Amino acid sequence: MNETDLMHLRTSIELAWKARERGNHPFGAVLANADGLRLLIAENTVSTERDVTGHAELNLVRLATHDLSAEQLTQCTLYASTEPCAMCAGAVFWAGIGRVVYALAETDLYALIGQSAGQLVIPCREVFARAGRPTQVEGPCAELGHEAHAVHAGFWKRRA
C-alpha cells in the first residue's frame, strides 16, 4: 500500500467514527479514481435509515453507479474501514469497481465482536475469486490496524 491508500483508508475510518456517532454501525467507505482523487464517500446507515442493506460500501456503490460510467468504475478503488462483507463484495463486482483496499479483516472484526449463527462469513477475496472478472484486493492494513480496531471498541457489546 502506498501513501494515497493509507490516506483514503484513514478517511474511511474517520467515516466509520461518524457513522458510529450517528448511531449506525461503525463502517465507512471512500471511492477514488486511478489518479487517487477522492470521488465519493459514504458511511453505514443501517440504523438511521432502518435498512439492513445500508452498509457503507453498498451506499457508496449506489452513489458511484449513479454518477460514474462503467468504464470509469473499472479504474476506481473502493477503500473500506473493514473488509467488505459478501453482500458488499457482490455489489462491488456488479458495479465493476476494479480494486478494493481495506483496513480491518473480517476475521479480526469477528474476533472482536464474536460470531453468531446470523452472520454470513465469506471473505471478499472468495467472492471475487468466483466472479467473472478480476477485482484486485489489498488488505488488511497492518499499519492502520489499531485505528481500524478502535472504532469498533465497545460498540458491539452494547448491542448484544
pLDDT at 71: 96
β partners of residue 31: 40, 78
Sign of CA dihedral 84, 135, 58, 75: positive
Cα distance between residue 124 and residue 92, in whole Å: 10
Cα–Cα distance measured from residue 135 to residue 77, given in angstroms and rounded to the nearest whole number: 10
Annotation says 14 is catalytic? no
CA angle 157, 159, 160 (to 5 degrees): 70
pLDDT of residue 118: 65
Give, for 140, the enclosing helix (H) or strand (E): none
pLDDT at 86 over 80: yes
pLDDT value, residue 110: 85
At 120, the pLDDT band (50, 70, 90 cuts) reads confident
C-alpha to C-alpha distance for 81 and 11, rounded to whole angstroms: 8
What's 131's DSSP letter?
Answer: S
Overall pTM surpassing 0.85 (yes/no): yes
pLDDT at 111: 82
Q: From the candidates 43, 57, 106, 147, give the one annotated as an active-site residue.
A: 57
pLDDT of 159 > 70? The answer is: no
SS3 of residue 34 by DSSP: coil
Instruction: Write the pLDDT tens digit of every residue in 3-61.
Output: 999 999 999 999 999 999 999 999 999 999 999 999 999 999 999 999 999 999 999 99
Cα dist. 151→16, 119, 132 in Å?
Answer: 7, 20, 34
Residue 135 has pLDDT above 70, yes or no: yes
In the predicted model, is pLDDT for residue 88 greater than 80?
yes
What pLDDT sits at residue 101? 98
In tens, the pLDDT along 95-119 reads: 999 999 999 999 888 888 876 656 7
